[in-house]
Amino acid sequence: MLLERLTTACGLPGFEDEVRNIIKEELADFVDSIKIDRMGNLIAVKNAAATGKHIALNAHMDEVGLCVRYIESDGRIRFASWGVDRRLLPSMRVLVGEKKTLGVIGAKPIHLQTESERNSTVAIDSLYIDIGCDKKEEVEKLVNLGDFAAFNSKFTEFGENRIKAKALDDRVGCATIIEVLKSDIPHKVTGIFCVQEEIGIRGSAVAANGLSADILINLEGTIGADLDGIKPHEHVTTQGGGPAISIADRSSLYFRKHIDEIIAVAEKNSIPWQYRRSGMGGTDAHNYHLAKTGTPCIGLAVPCRYIHSPVSTMHKSDFENLVKLVKAYVAEFGGK
């Protein structure tokens, strides 16, 4: 399964190679060209010579995780967090560096903690990765400063049409673009797979300045907080409710004209949809909106519970309906 391959791959900011190679392999026989720019963004063009409207699709390849910043003399690895909630870290299993060395995140055992320590979140400076080595010299044979540490999480299908995996944000967007580019569409479509989104939407800042398109659809995994104890207006999205359409977020305001267009396509094709009901978070769309003379953008996303964790979950139908909606919109808009 494509989504399983993509989420199993490790691809922290600056280390997206494994994800990028899967995408290249998947698209090799379906597009006219594939190039990788100096930042590491992968850009694939289908039907380059087609007339009509040119649609671009964007998703980011990187995921949240940890970065090695110091190795203690006794072999413990100190780390920095790249977008991970520190409350999740104690006892987490990780894969460190290019060799994917298995490690566990350790902390002072509860028996030795003071009362105040037991009642508070453990600080990152008090945590470490243990890869089973007792000496710094042994660790350095396997791990270097600056190496990534990715979640060690198995892709699993469970419950009623659900998927559990790491990095659904944003491998679900990458998988959507791949499925669209593999389909039989007559219009020019550019698929952009960006790097370093999770540390400041850096890759798209470069990709946006090389793009000339009539419209861009940014594809994401987004917050699904439809859970007990969270007020309904704070759910943001609802799993199983279809792809979520953004009105605004922290970095973009989407044109109502294009929001109405894609809603009309969804309604025409009986594709369920919902609004993304929050202004939190920012996406790569920000850079496309502002680069050069500006590219109009649409923001679409799949609701993901427990996002930015090893156990993100999604409803398979939301992903399937996202693919249907993008294909339908490309067919409609590209022919205008």
CA distance 295 to 297: 6
Return the SS3 of 139. helix
List the catalytic residue out of 179, 197, 198, 220: 197
Return the SS3 of 203. helix
171 sits in the region (left: phi over 0; alpha: psi -120 to 50; else beta) called alpha
CA distance 145 to 51: 50
Longest dimension (CA), the chain: 70
How many Cβ atoms sit within 10 Å of the Cβ of residue 163? 23
As a whole number of Å, the CA-based R_g of the chain is 21
Phi, psi of 170 (to 5 degrees): -135, 40
Q: CB-hemisphere CA count at 13 Å for 197?
A: 33
Pairing, β 188-194 against β 42-46? antiparallel
Is residue 179 part of the annotated active site? The answer reads no
Distances (CA, A) of 5 to 1, 67, 70, 177: 6, 23, 31, 15
Return the SS3 of 5. helix
How wide is the angle at C-alpha 157 spanned by C-alphas 150 and 44, nearest 5°?
60
Query: 296: Cβ–Cβ under 8 A, 6 or more apart, which residues?
Result: 214, 215, 216, 255, 258, 289
Q: Which residues are catalytic?
A: 197
